[in-house]
Structure 1
Amino acid sequence: AVALPELLQEVITLLSSLSIDKEIDLLCVINPAVPTWITGDRLRLRQVLINLVSNALKFTSSGQVVLRAEVEGEHPELLHLRVEDTGIGIAESRLQEIFHPFVQADTTISRSHGGTGLGLSITDNLSKLMGGRVWAESQPGVGSVFHVVLPLRRLEPPPLVSLPESDQPSPPAQTDVLQILLVEDTEDNQWLFAAYLKKSPHRLTIAGNGLEAISHIHSTTFDLVFMDIQMPGMNGYEATRQIRQWEQQKGLPPVTIVALTAQAYEEDEQNCRKCGCDAYLTKPLKKQKLLETIQNMTATIVARKQAVVPPLSL
C-alpha cells in the first residue's frame, strides 16, 4: 500500500533544501481526483520522483519546479505524474536520447551542471518495471515537462492500528559523530544521501569517482565509507582494493566500507566482500536503512580504530 500524497510530500521535503539554496520555488499540486491510497512499489515510485525532481532542480536557475499528480480524464485507470520546470530546456532532437545511459542533452551540461546522465535512464527503467512509461516535452530557454504515466490501482485505506504502550518503538540510540565518505558519481544520489544525513551529527564528504575517493582516503581519516560499485572509470571494486592495499602498506586499521549497488544477487555480495567491503546495501536506499546501518557499524568502527595492523614488507 502506498499513501500517495504522503509520498509526494516526502519527496518535496527531501529536496526542499536544494530549492532554498537556489532560491527556486518547489511546489506540489495534487488533483482532488487522485486517490489517497494506491497499490504499487513505493521504493521504485519514490526513486522515480526523486530522480525527476532533483534533475529539474539541477537544470533550473530561476523560477520554479512543480510536481503534479493527476488522474487521466479519459483514462481513470492511469496515474499521471508531471515534473515541470523553468530551466534551460532541451532541444527536440535530443528528447529521446536523454533516457539513454550516460547521455546528456548537451555536451557542455556535465561540465556546468554535473552528473553523468544515469538518472533519467534509471527512471525510464523503473517506470517500465512498474508497467508505465516516461517521456519529456521541452523548449530550450523556457523549460521542460517530464511525464510519468502508471497503472492506477486504487486501494481502500488500511485500518488504524494502536500499539500497546509497551510495544511503542523506543527512540534510536545516540550515535557517535562519524566522519563519513560517500563515493557516488550520480549527483541525484549525492543530494539524496546528504538530505538523509542533514539532521544527523555526522560529517559527510562526497567523492564523485573512485580516484577522488582514494585521494580523500590518503589525506583524511574517515570512520565509514559508502562505496558505489557501478561507476564509470574506476569502479567501486577497484577503488576498494586499492584502499585496502594502501592501508596494509601504511599499517593502518581498515576503514569500514559499505558497498552500494543496484544489484541484489548472491554473486554481487560475494564480489563486494572479496574486494574488501564489510557489507553492502542495495539501491534505492531508504533513510531508515541508512541510519540503521550507520548505527550498527559503530561497534566495528570503534574496534578497528583500536587495532594495529603491521605494515607490509616491501
Structure 2
Amino acid sequence: MPAQVEGDAGRIRQILHNLLGNAIKFTPSGRVRLRLIVQERSEQDVLMQWQVTDTGKGIPEKDLEHLFKPFFQVSAGQEGGGAGLGLSICSRLSESMGGTMRVVSEPGLGSSFSLFIRLPIGTSPPAMVPASKEGSQAPSAPLKLSVLVAEDNPVSQAVMCEQLEAIGAYPIVAADGHQALQLWQSKRFDMVITDINMPRMNGYALTRTLREAGVEVPIIGITANALREEGERCLQAGMTAWIVKPLSLGTLRQVLMKHCPGSTDTHAANDPGKEDFSGCIQLSQPMRQLLAQTLASDIEQLEKGVVEHDAVLVQQRLHSLSGALASINASALYSACQRLENMLQELPLDARLGGQVRALCGRLAQVAQRLSDEIPG
C-alpha cells in the first residue's frame, strides 16, 4: 500500500459501513472479515479492493443480479430486512468515485462484497505534520457548548452524547423532532444536531419549524447517506451543514468549532459548575445547603460503586440523583444521569463506563462547590 492516496474518505467509509453492517446482520455465527488488497500499482495511482467477506446465510443466484437495484430485498426469508436501499446507495457512491462493486455468494456458505477504486497516490504526506502540530493546543480545549441532540436510536444517542462530552460540550437528547421542540422551549442551546430520519417528526421538519420560529443557531444534520442529493436536501431545509455517519471525534469537533466560532468559553471554564448550574430554579439558603450535602453523599456512593464494580448501587444512586436534579431544573446534569442509568441497563460497568460516571462526579462536585461557596459563613 502507498503511504497516502487521494480520495473521498467519507464515501468510502460509508460504503464499508453499509457492507459490514449487512454482513453482521446476516451472519448469526462465524466471522466477518474486511481486507484491503492492492490489485495494481503504478507510479501515479493504485487500484485498491476493499473486500467484506462473511460466513453467513448467503444469497441465491437468482437474486445476485438485482442486489444493487433500489428497494430490492433478498427473497431467501432472511430476517431484519429494511428499506432495501443500502446496496443501491453503495453502488451509486462507488460509481460517483469511478469505482465498481462486485459480489460473490453461495447459499449456506456466505458472501463476499468488493469495492474497487483506482486512486491517485499522494505525493507530499510530510506537509500534513506541521499543520497538525500548529493546531495541537486548540483541540484539547473544551468547547463549552450546549447542544440539543435529536436522535431516536438509543445506541446512536449514547455514542453522540459520549463524543460531545469528550470534547467538552453539554448534550441534551430528544427522541424525535417533537420532543426536541419541547426542549427548545425550556432551555437555550448553542447548536442543534439532528438525525435526518426519525419517527413522528424527522430532521427536515424539525429544522424548518425551528427556522420558521426565528431560530438562528447552527443546525447540523446527521445522515447515513453520503449522496450529494441528501446534502442538498439538508441545506434546502435550512440546516447549516450535514455530516455522514459514522463520524469521528475529530470530525465532530471540527464541525462544532467551524459553525460556533466562539465555542471555547474561557469565562465558563474559569467558573466551575456555571454551565451545569445555569437554568436551575432559585434556591433558598437551606435548600442550597441541603443540595450541597446530598450531592456530596451521591458522589461518594457513585465513586464507591465504580471502585467496587457495583452496577446496582450506581444505577440506584443515578436514579435518585435524576429526581433531585429534575426538581431544581438542572437539565444538563439530569440528562447525563438518565443517559448513564439507561446505559447501565444494557452494558456492564466496565472501565469505559466507569470513566463516564467519574466524569459526571466531577461535574457534580463543581456544582456542590459552587453551592457551598454561595452559603454565607
| Alignment TM class, shorter chain as reference | 0.5 to 0.7
Question: 1:147: Cα distance to partner?
Answer: 1.0
Aligned residue runs from structure 1 range 167-186, under 5 A? 167-170=134-137, 171-176=139-144, 180-183=148-151
Shift of 1:198: 4.1
* TM-score (ref. length: structure 1): 0.58
Q: 1:36 — aligned with what?
A: 3
Code of the aligned partner of 2:149:
L
Q: Percent identity?
A: 30
Give 2:117's match in structure 1, choosing from 147, 150, 165: 150
Q: Determine which of 171, 178, 184 is the counterpart of 1:214.
A: 178
Mark the CA change 1:63 to 1:90 in structure 2 (over 3 Å): closer, same or farther.
same
2:236 — aligned with what? Answer: 271
Structure number with higher helix proportion? 2
CA distance in 2, matches of 1:83, 1:138: 12
Alpha-carbon distance between aligned partners in 2 of 1:156 and 1:284, rounded to the nearest angstrom: 29
Q: Which residue of 1 aligns with 2:254?
A: 292
Contact 1:263 1:282 in 2 (8 A): no
1:1-314 mapped onto 2 (5 Å cutoff) = 34-72=1-39, 78-106=47-75, 112-113=79-80, 115-156=82-123, 158-159=125-126, 163=130, 167-170=134-137, 171-176=139-144, 180-183=148-151, 198-201=162-165, 212-214=176-178, 225-229=192-196, 236-241=203-208, 257-260=219-222, 262-263=227-228, 268=233, 271-273=236-238, 277=239, 279-283=240-244, 286-287=247-248, 288-294=250-256, 297=260
CA distance in 2, matches of 1:241, 1:162: 41
How many residues in Structure 1 have an aligned counterpart in Structure 2?
Answer: 251
Task: Tell me the secondary structure at the aligned position of residue 54 of structure 1.
Answer: helix
Q: Which of 112-121 and 158-167 deviates more?
A: 158-167
Residue 73 to residue 219, structure 1, CA distance change in 2 (3 Å): closer
Q: Greater share of strand residues, 1 or 2?
A: 1
RMSD: 4.8
Closer/same/farther in 2, CA of residues 263 and 70 from structure 1, 3 Å limit: closer
CA displacement 1:85-105 (0-9 Å, x = unmatched): 122332222223332333332
String of CA shifts for 1:244-303, please: whole Å, max 9, x gaps: 88x89xxxx999743346447997566322xxx5x2325467533323344555979x8x
Distance 1:266 1:122 in 2: 14
CA distance in 2, matches of 1:155, 1:254: 40
Query: Which whole-Å CA distance do the structure 2 matches of 1:137 and 1:165 have between them?
Result: 42
Matched residues in 2 for 1:72 and 1:78: separation? 5
* Residue ranges of structure 1 left out of the alignment (5+ in a row): 1-33, 307-314
Deviation at 1:58, TM superposition (A): 3.0
Q: CA deviation at 1:132?
A: 1.4
* Residues 284 and 50 of structure 1, relative CA distance in 2, 3 Å threshold: same
Stretches of structure 2 that go unaligned for 5 or more consecutive residues are 264-274, 280-377
Cα distance, 1:77 vs structure 2: 5.5
Displacement, 1:131?
A: 1.2
Q: Residues of 2 paired with 1:205 and 1:107: CA distance?
A: 38
What residue in structure 2 maps to residue 28 of structure 1? none
Distance of 1:256 and 1:41 partners within structure 2: 25
Whole-angstrom distance in 2 between the partners of 1:154 and 1:164: 20
> Do the aligned residues in 1 keep the contact of 2:222 with 2:245 (CA within 8 Å)?
no
Question: For residues 191 and 98 of structure 1, do their structure 2 counterparts lie closer, same or farther at Cα, with a shift above 3 Å needed?
Answer: farther
Highest CA radius of gyration, 1 or 2? 2
Report deviation, 1:145: 0.8
